[in-house]
Amino acid sequence: MSDKKNIIDEIKNSKAFKVFASGIWLDNPIFCMVLGICSSLAITNKVANAIAMGLGVTFCTVFSSLLISLFRNTIPGRVRMLAYMTIIATFVICVDRFLKAFFPLISETMGPYVGLIITNCILMGRAEAYAINNSPFYSALDALGCGIGYTFMLLLMSIVREIMGFGTILDFRIMPDSWVNWTVLTIAPGAFFLLGVYLWIFRTISKKTDT
């Protein structure tokens, strides 16, 4: 029993775990830094889209961080933005092709938003803030943590929006037939209000305030 506890403590105190976990909760990209909402808020009205977007962003963040970290000593400082962009765009093209081939329906509803993963601030933010100064292993872990935190938040948004707005979850009807859909949640203003409310809740719990 105590052995098990020791191991858990050891894992908890290791650098790898701290790097990984900070992205999920303490430094959650959306709630804390309010980054990367540009390209995904609009498509969180369906859970399926949110999952696709979350996984796509996670994939791109992990691999671009890994690659940037591997090349961190050879990328010249002046053109590093261009280098990040090229690496990120390559992985986004992979995601776009994958969705088009295997999930054409999701790809159609997300439209240009898949391409816009390139300009998602999270990818650039992780590259600039972490990957360029750290070893590949920790960079990938950090990116994975951020990606999971991001996916989790998109899920939170999309679950509320789909249940209240369409009465379904993953297109499976769960609300009774007498349920009147809250159409406002399926369109842009609903996304803004919901995110505002989530930010309020999260910042009140974590006692984090903006200056």
Shortest Cβ 43–other proteins spacing (Å)? 9
- Of 112 and 176, nearer to other proteins (C-beta) is 112
Give the helix, strand, coil percentages of the chain, each rounded to 5: 70, 0, 25
Shortest Cβ 143–other proteins spacing (Å)? 17
Instruction: Decide: is 35 part of the binding site for other proteins (CB under 8 A).
Output: yes
Q: Which two tokens stand for residue 81?
A: 């933005």
Instruction: Decide: is 155 part of the binding site for other proteins (CB under 8 A).
Output: no
> Distance (Å, rounded) from C-alpha 152 to C-alpha 160?
13
Give 69's Cβ-side CA count (13 Å radius). Answer: 23
Q: Which two tokens stand for residue 152?
A: 């989790």
- Of 42 and 75, nearer to other proteins (C-beta) is 42
Amino acid identity, residue 158?
A: S
Site size with other proteins, rule: CB under 8 A: 45
Instruction: Decide: is 203 part of the binding site for other proteins (CB under 8 A).
Output: yes
Handedness of CA 154, 155, 159, 160 (dihedral sign): negative
- Of 17 and 63, nearer to other proteins (C-beta) is 63
x-or-dash string of contact with other proteins, 75-104, rule CB under 8 A? ------xx--xx--xx-xx--xx-------
Q: Count other C-beta atoms under 10 Å from residue 133's C-beta.
A: 11
Dihedral, CA of residue 66, residue 69, residue 74 and residue 76, to nearest 10: 110
Region binding other proteins by CB under 8 A among candidate stretches 18-26, 117-125, 141-149, 150-158: 117-125
**Which residues would be at the binding site for other proteins (CB under 8 A)?**
34-39, 41-42, 81-82, 85-86, 89-90, 92-93, 96-97, 111-112, 115-116, 118-121, 124, 187-193, 195-196, 199-204, 209-211
